[in-house]
A and B are shown apart, each in its own frame.
Chain A
Amino acid sequence: MRRTWQRHINKLRWVSLSIVFLMLILLPFLHLYQTYEAAHAYDLLAPDEKAIYDAMERLTAPFVSDPVTDLNALKGTTWSGTLFGLKLSDPLAVVGQSAAGLTIYWPFLLTALIPIAVTLVLGRVYCGWICPATLIYELHDNLAAWLRKAGLPVSRRKLDRRLKYLVLAAGTIIAAISGTMVFAAVYPPAIIGREIYYAIAVGGFGAGIVFFILTLAFDLMVTRRGFCRYVCPGGALYSLLGRFRLLRIQRKVGQCNDCAKCNVVCQFGLDPLRDGFGQECNNCTACIAVCPTDALTFRVAFKDQPFQGPGHLGHEYRRRQENRQADAHSDPGEAA
């Protein structure tokens, strides 16, 4: 059987995650380069600063004529940033900020329109394809898998997935009452972007890194991918936006053999084996990549399919078929 090309999409996703993360590391260096350039003091730089200057100059020289102004087209983080001159913001930032100020600041809302539109069509793709924290959490999850294999009882619990909607609502209310943007302090991608910048360009980590390490401990000790599944307010917002997404992963029941690898690999603890994707699927395609019979594919549809029964290549289906045939033969009314 020729295998579908869709199982390679997961590799593309890792490339995307890595590019975003590397960009977040590169940008502080670009900022340092800009400040060295603006100071007109190459001779006064320390040797390691000179190394940064030379490397960044070599990297950007083909693209910019005046680094001090031109490189400002590439700034910020995934929380809110400028990507080649286009201002983009996380929808959660808009929600939190509107709540904190009790007004809508339209120029800021506009910067979130593209992410919102993408989420409406493709679902919660930010979580699986862009979020810089996802990269760390997924690698961290692999570590947890090794520890589990070594016999340690790590991340075994299951919590209620609706908890994160509660966090989103509570955060919005607290922002409105306190007049302060609270999501920024507890939203891992915002923290990661900031902390990388602090570590490289300012020196030392900020306060957010402590919170992030706590989330890693939570994932390891309490529940697998726990923060993304049960707590993250951004994930909750993206899930709500992606509820009626157009592009969905669906199961072809005729090709499924009930091996349940998809359920094991699903980072968000969904249930592809029984057609249970729902609004929280982030189209990460890990299940497509792992499916040995190519039973999972992308489809354009507004709704998930209801449970289609056991896969036609699995034991359960064959047993039922045999039972049915046996019933048919033994039934005298049918035979007559």
Chain B
Amino acid sequence: MQRRNFLYTLIAGAVGAAAPLHARATPRVSVRFLRPPGALPEDDYLSRCIRCGKCGEVCPNRAIKFFRFENGLASLDTPYIVPREQACILCMKCGEACPTGALQPIEREAEAIMQNVRMGRARVDRTICLSWQGKTCGVCYRACPLQDVAIRVGRLEQPHVLDACVGCGLCERSCIQIPQAIRIIPDHQRKVV
């Protein structure tokens, strides 16, 4: 093949590869990840984010990682959090650093955080949870930055997740069971911020 032809083929290939991007804009279910706090709903997020990586650079907890191809081409180089590995401490520095508002700036204050942060919501698997098995634990409750508002414990420290949970993942990070009995169910697909 002539080099010129090769070049044109490359360009055509690049254009063709970009076409199914939109179809992939919704994340695959197999990858459970959170967007950093203050992130817009997934489709808006992907069109706003410029992949500058500043959110990760200001994260003092090194919770923010960056996608390669795991979540499809559209998510390339976008930030994500796997709470079991390193959870968000809700310092809100990423929203402040984000130049495009893909991560909204949110004040570091309980009221504002509960209102605006929707990374996901914790769910307890009672068949794994120690407290629900009768062995008093309560670690998730102790780890929660929004105790008694986002999570409440009953008899034997059995956890109940409440509506105010923002999905930071500190409970999942700290759960002493393997596999973890409490997980964050991501909330990418919500319609309103």
Contact = CB atoms under 8 A, between A and B. Distances in A.
Interface of A: 27-28, 31, 34-35, 38-39, 68, 72, 75-77, 79-82, 87, 89, 93, 96-97, 100-102, 105, 107-108, 111, 157, 159, 170, 174, 177-182, 184-186, 190, 193-194, 197-198, 201-202, 206-208, 222
B49 interface: yes
Interface string B50-62: 1111101111111
Can you list the 10 inter-chain pairs with the closest CB atoms, starting with the nearest? A178-B21, A38-B60, A184-B51, A80-B52, A100-B47, A101-B47, A179-B47, A76-B54, A93-B50, A108-B100
6 contacts: A34-B60, A77-B52, A107-B101, A177-B22, A180-B46, A184-B77
A111 B101 CA distance: 12
B181 interface: no
Chain B: number of interface residues, binned into ranges: 35 or more
B114 interface: no
Secondary structure at the A interface, as helix, strand, loop or mixed, is helix
A186 B68 CA distance: 14
A336 to B, nearest CB: 61
Contacts of B15: 170, 174
A28 B58 CA distance: 10
Contacts of A27: 57
Interface of B: 3-4, 7, 14-15, 18-19, 21-22, 25, 43-44, 46-54, 56-62, 65-66, 68-69, 74, 76-77, 93, 97, 99-101
A102 B99 CA distance: 17
Contacts of B47: 97, 100-102, 179-181
A89 B43 CA distance: 22
Given A35-B62, A38-B60, A206-B77, A178 B69 contact: no
B51 A190 contact: yes
Given A93-B50, A222-B3, A35 B69 contact: no
B43 A76 contact: no
B77 A208 contact: yes
Contacts of B48: 97, 100-101, 105
A92 to B, nearest CB: 9
A75 B99 contact: no
B52 to A, nearest CB: 4
Given A38-B61, A89-B52, A180-B74, 5 more contacts: A27-B57, A97-B48, A157-B4, A193-B52, A202-B56
Contacts of B56: 197, 201-202
B25 A179 contact: yes
Given A100-B47, A170-B15, A178-B22, A75 B76 contact: no
Contacts of A193: 52-53
B65 A105 contact: no
A72 B55 CA distance: 11
Nearest to A157: B3
A159 B43 CA distance: 38
A320 to B, nearest CB: 39
Given A182-B18, A202-B66, A81 B60 contact: no
Nearest to A100: B47
B79 to A, nearest CB: 11
B16 to A, nearest CB: 11
